[in-house]
Amino acid sequence: MGSQLLAAGLAAGEAPEEWNLDRPDVVSGIHRAYFDAGSDVVQTNTFGGNRVRLAETKCLYSVEEVCRAGATIAKEVQPDDRMVAGDMGPTGLSFPPLGQADEKELEDIFAEQAAALAGAGVDLLSIETMSDIREAVAAITGAKSVCDLPLVVSMTFRKTRRGHFTIMGDPLLPSLQSLLDSGASAVGANCTLSSNDMCALAQEVNNSSAGIIIIQPNAGEPQIVTDGDSHEIHYPEGPDEFASNLRPAIQAGVDIIGGCCGTEPGHISALARMREKTTQ
């Protein structure tokens, strides 16, 4: 969604969620494109739709307003056999020593957003791009305090010499287990890792976990392409390369696969074709 909005003219530092009210046609078009490409689930344009992030981006609208609008737009174009996930990203607040956040505060913030999304009729909640297990658990707890929707919870891991960790140092498998123990219905990873690396992470999780797994890789690492005085951001992995790299994950039975930064509807169509090819 983010990449699509930037392509449609969203400025750096502008709150994407504002477009749910100011340019709903653009947001609607993006959802339609993803449903047409074969998405079983689309995520609402509410990644930063919590009160902390909205205040930071000086958004003109409230949590309730952007989340209700975001959910409604997606539901209006939702085919009968597909789903709409209410998207919830991190607050940007950190626990000590990096910041002053505490669990209760975060639970309230996430509860507020979850209530707005659930109230607007989403089918499930997608909590994603979490770098701190404590924030992720607070999101689960907050969401569960206001609704019964299934929770798909995804964290962002980096590859290090010692294995996969978040930037805060949370290790892959124990973190995903904590998420399950806290009440997540599906767990996994999104962002930072490209399709190859994410596929390897998926294998690692698949081999050990008994849960429903989700992965959403980036389309490679972004590069700046210079053309005279103008610079464009280019993600190197095209749809076919992306889908082909993820084939092992499909074959291994990873339950939910999507795309994060740099992916477009084309990547999803390629995935859908690869799925058909693989499960034949």
Partner 1 sequence: MSTKTVEERIRDAVLDGDADLARELAGEALKSETPPRQILNLYIAGIREVGRLWEEGEFFLPELVSGAEAVMAALDVINPAMSESESGADSEEQVAVIGTVQGDVHDIGKSLVSNMLMARGFEVIDLGTDVSADKFVDAVEEHRATLLGLSALLTTTMLAQKSVIEKLAERGLREKVRVLVGGAPVTAKWAEEIGADGTAEDAFSAADLACKIVGL
Residues that bind partner 1 (CB under 8 A): 6, 12-13, 56, 92, 94, 97-98, 160-163, 165-169, 222, 224, 226, 231, 233
* Pick 77 or 176: Cβ nearer partner 1: 176
* Contact of 73 with 122, CB cutoff 8 Å: no
CB 131 → partner 1: shortest distance, Å? 9
* Pick 12 or 210: Cβ nearer partner 1: 12
* Pick 82 or 134: Cβ nearer partner 1: 134
* Pick 211 or 220: Cβ nearer partner 1: 220
CB 225 → partner 1: shortest distance, Å? 11
The tokens 């959910």 sit on which residue? Answer: 71
CB 260 → partner 1: shortest distance, Å? 14
* Pick 172 or 243: Cβ nearer partner 1: 172
Reported in sequence order, the residue ranges of 80-175 that DSSP labels E, i.e. its strands, are 83-88, 124-130, 151-155, 158-160, 163-165
Note if the bond before 97 is cis, omega within 30 degrees: yes
* Pick 64 or 204: Cβ nearer partner 1: 204
- The number of angstroms, rounded, from the C-alpha of 29 to the middle of its chain's C-alpha atoms is 19
Q: Enter the tokens of residue 165.
A: 């960790």
- Residues composing the chain: 280
CB 155 → partner 1: shortest distance, Å? 14
CB 128 → partner 1: shortest distance, Å? 17
Looking at the DSSP bridge assignments, the partners of residue 40 are: none
Question: Given the DSSP bridges, would you call strands 186-194 and 151-155 parallel, antiparallel or unpaired?
Answer: parallel
CA distances from 2 to 5, 21, 103, 136 (A): 5, 16, 28, 21
Looking at the DSSP bridge assignments, the partners of residue 231 are: 226
SS3 (DSSP) at 114: helix
